[in-house]
Amino acid sequence: MLLNETPRRKRTGYPSAKPNSSYNIFITPQSGGVLDPRRNKGARIAVIGAGISGIAAANVLQKNGFEAVVFEKSENLGGGWAVTYPGIHLQNTFASYHLSDFPWAFKPDLHPSGAQIMRYWNEAVKHLQLDVRLGHEVLALEEQANGWLLRYKNQKGVHEEMFKYAIIAVG
C-alpha cells in the first residue's frame, strides 16, 4: 500500500478514494486492495507515533473515511521536532512544508524555528480533529483473526484495544 498526497492531480490506474478529496489512498495490486475505503469504510486503524509521518497518515486515513487513532508515547506530538536542540530551524522553506489541506495559520520565519514547527503541528492536529492520544506507549501488536490487538500503557495502566489495521510510524 502506498499512502500519497496528490492535491488537484488525478492519477490513473488506481481507484480514487473520494472524488472531491485532495487526498487519495492508492492501493497497489500486490496489497490485494485491503485498504480500499469503499470496502472498509469506518474501519479502525491504529497509527503508532505522532511525528510527521503518523499525523500525515492519520489525516489521509480520516479523510478517506477510516477511524484513525494515533498513539504517542511522549507527552508531545511532533516526534523529532519535540525533542530537538534549541535554535534549530527547518532546512525547507515554510511554503514547502505543510499538509496539503492545512497551510500555515500564522506567518512563520522563511525557515521556521523548532517552536514554530511545533505550533504548526499542534494547530494542524486540532484543526483536523485528529484523535491523537499522548502519553500512550504501544507495547505490543498481536495479529488476530479479525485484525490487530494493540497493547498500550498510559498513566492509568496497561490496556488492550482491537484495530482492523495498524500503521507503524515510529521514526
Q: Which is closer to ligand FAD, CB of 41 or CB of 110?
A: 110
164 vs 141: CA distance, rounded Å? 12
80 contacts ligand FAD (rule: CB under 6 A): yes
Question: Rounded to an integer, what distance in angstroms lies between the CA atom of residue 38 and that of residue 127?
Answer: 26
- How far is 127 from 102, CA to CA, in rounded Å? 8
For residue 49, state whether it binds ligand FAD (rule: CB under 6 A): yes
Q: Grid coordinates representing 62?
A: 480520516
130 lines the binding site for ligand FAD (CB under 6 A): no
Give, in order, the Cα–Cα distances in Å from 26 to each of 5, 101, 128, 137, 147.
Answer: 10, 18, 21, 29, 21
Q: Report in angstroms how near the CB of residue 116 gets to ligand FAD at its nearest.
A: 12
Single-letter amino acid code for the residue at 150:
L
Is residue 17 close enough to count as binding ligand FAD by CB under 6 A?
no
Q: Interface with ligand FAD by CB under 6 A: which range of 12-20, 28-36, 52-60, 102-110? A: 52-60
Binding positions for ligand FAD, rule: CB under 6 A: 48-54, 71-74, 79-81, 84, 88, 90-92, 137-138, 169-171
